[in-house]
Amino acid sequence: MTLPSTADFLVIGGGVVGLTTALALRGRHPDASVVVLEKEDHCGAHASGRNSGVLHAGFYYSADSLKARFSRDGCARWKAWCEERDLPVNACGKLVVARTEDDFPQMDELLRRAERNGVDLEEVSEADAHEIDPRAHTVERALWSPSTASVDPQAIMTALAQEAREAGIAVATGTAYRGVHGGSGPHRVGTSAGLVSAGFVVNAAGLHADRVARDFGFAEHYRILPFKGLYLYGDVPADWMRVHIYPVPDLEVPFLGVHFTVTVEGAISIGPTALPALWREQYGGLGGFSAKELAEVTARGAAMVLRDRGFRRLAIREGPKLLRSVLARRAAALVHDLDVSKWRRWGRPGIRAQLQDARSGALVTDFVTQGDPRSLHVLNAVSPAFTCALPFAEYLAEEVDDLVE
Ligand SMILES: Cc1cc2nc3c(=O)[nH]c(=O)nc-3n(C[C@H](O)[C@H](O)[C@H](O)COP(=O)(O)OP(=O)(O)OC[C@H]3O[C@@H](n4cnc5c(N)ncnc54)[C@H](O)[C@@H]3O)c2cc1C
């Protein structure tokens, strides 16, 4: 495909946020030209195609957050979207189990959040939990989320990219954003395939969104810290577990804790970990190595270990999970009869583009947007941004219109 030299809307990043936003802009402006730049040779090469594929029901997030606002509807809309396109959905549901009585106050908080967010979450007894999934191990009580489901994220990304093209959007894969030239009038955006003159730029560059935003004068106080999610697969039959089984999370950190996911095909994984990655695209070996990022990420990680109690707890908890046996043993607390020796196969890792506020050192929990009449920057599109993507994209397209006015 030849890259168009002009675009009314130029979206940087062909992940789920970029593609759904491009489609939402197209829906609002049928005569406008929309171009998506994606540096990889296909859409979904990063977080959008490398996540757990869980459609979250929306009970983890405080009611005032964007995450709470979009999860419930996002979950329902992806299910319908997949059904319409014959893409698989595993509507298995999720149990949140208690490891000790100390989990009870956080469980009560999750029930309160579910009620405020209008999400179906039931308290069930230990016996009911056993009925739902005999594998689940809980202390006295558990939470049952019937609407949690799983999908195939890469299949969705492939279908989305095709739909975007059919809607007349130029999806330029293998084309990287390289920088922006200032001045009044349309932005002159440099790419690996030449300049594009763009009326409005949407930055949905995931792990690189903070850097792109800084080119436009935004994200001054924000930095992305990459966190790696590793998955462990077991040599167990497909019916070993019926539903997702999660621990009660530590609501002070933006990760849900190691859990069991039942994939759309019925395979079972333990994970993901939340280990700081050494550079933004450190999936394995030295791929994507950047000495500058290594130095930067190590320095910021070390400073946070010293400064932030929550981060220190996270580092102490996550570090040992690099060992397969430690990860499996931690997960074993959630179920009956897990044979650690059977869990030996690492799956495909993903990396979270977690935003850090450089002033306080805190990890930001909600999605963040910044913009002006010529650009909008999506920062911190972390989990459950996949679940939220369809209604979140409509919100972003509306924000673009508000900024342009
Ligand atoms: C391990 C893990 C598990 C997760 N589990 C879940 C889950 O179960 N449910 C859920 O809802 N969410 C989950 N998430 C979160 C979810 O995957 C992300 O929130 C979502 O995919 C973010 O989408 P995105 O489009 O912002 O980012 P990405 O998918 O990373 O897309 C950004 C795109 O921008 C491109 N790009 C970057 N720089 C440039 C450039 N210079 N030029 C051109 N293109 C560029 C990248 O190549 C990339 O394709 C998980 C994430 C991870 C990492």
Q: What confidence score (pLDDT) does residue 238 get?
A: 81
Over 80: is that where the pLDDT of 357 sits?
yes
Over 70: is that where the pLDDT of 294 sits?
no
Cα–Cα distance, 252 to 256 (Å, whole number): 10
The kind and range of the H/E element at 141 are: strand 141-145
Cα distances (Å, whole numbers) of residue 194 to 54, 356, 375: 38, 32, 20
- pLDDT, one tens digit per residue, over 179-229 is 999 778 899 999 999 999 999 999 999 999 999 999 999 999 999 999 999
Q: What confidence score (pLDDT) does residue 51 get?
A: 95
- The pLDDT of 32-37, averaged and rounded, is 98
CA dihedral over 13, 14, 16, 21, signed as positive or negative: positive
202 C-beta neighbours (distance < 10 Å), count: 29
Label residue 280 left, alpha or beta by phi (over 0 means left) and psi (-120 to 50 means alpha). Answer: alpha
Cα–Cα distance, 147 to 120 (Å, whole number): 7
CA dihedral over 272, 276, 281, 283, signed as positive or negative: negative
Over 80: is that where the pLDDT of 63 sits?
yes
Nearest CA to ligand 1 atom 31: 15
- pLDDT, one tens digit per residue, over 138-192 is 999 999 999 999 999 999 999 999 999 999 999 999 999 999 997 788 999 999 9
Over 70: is that where the pLDDT of 285 sits?
no
- The pLDDT of 92-108, averaged and rounded, is 97
pLDDT above 70 coverage of the chain, percent: 91
Q: Which atom of ligand 1 is nearest to the CA of 191?
A: 42
The kind and range of the H/E element at 178 are: strand 177-181
Q: What confidence score (pLDDT) does residue 274 get?
A: 86
The set of protein residues with a Cβ atom below 6 angstroms from ligand 1 is 12-18, 37-40, 45-48, 50-54, 56, 176-177, 204-208, 229, 272, 350-352, 381-387
At residue 321 the predicted structure's pLDDT band, cuts being 50, 70 and 90, is low
Over 70: is that where the pLDDT of 387 sits?
yes
Cα–Cα distance, 107 to 364 (Å, whole number): 22
At residue 305 the predicted structure's pLDDT band, cuts being 50, 70 and 90, is low
- The pLDDT of 327-352, averaged and rounded, is 92
DSSP string computed for 360-373: T-PBP-S-EEEEET
Q: Which atom of ligand 1 is nearest to the CA of 19?
A: 25
Mean model confidence pLDDT for the chain: 92
Q: What is the architecture, at CATH level 2, of domain 1-53+152-221+366-405?
A: 3-Layer(bba) Sandwich (3.50)
At residue 282 the predicted structure's pLDDT band, cuts being 50, 70 and 90, is confident
Nearest CA to ligand 1 atom 13: 383
Q: Which tokens is 59 given?
A: 């009970």
| Whole-structure pTM value | 0.93
The alpha carbon of 215 and the centre of ligand 1 are apart by a number of angstroms equal to 20
Q: Which atom of ligand 1 is nearest to the CA of 74?
A: 11
Residue 120, helix vs strand vs coil = coil
Contact of 247 with 257, CB cutoff 8 Å: yes
116 compared with 280, residue with greater pLDDT? 116
- The pLDDT of 249-273, averaged and rounded, is 90
314 C-beta neighbours (distance < 10 Å), count: 23
The alpha carbon of 81 and the centre of ligand 1 are apart by a number of angstroms equal to 19
Residue of 50, 51, 216, 273 to mutate, ligand 1, most atoms within 8 A of C-beta: 51
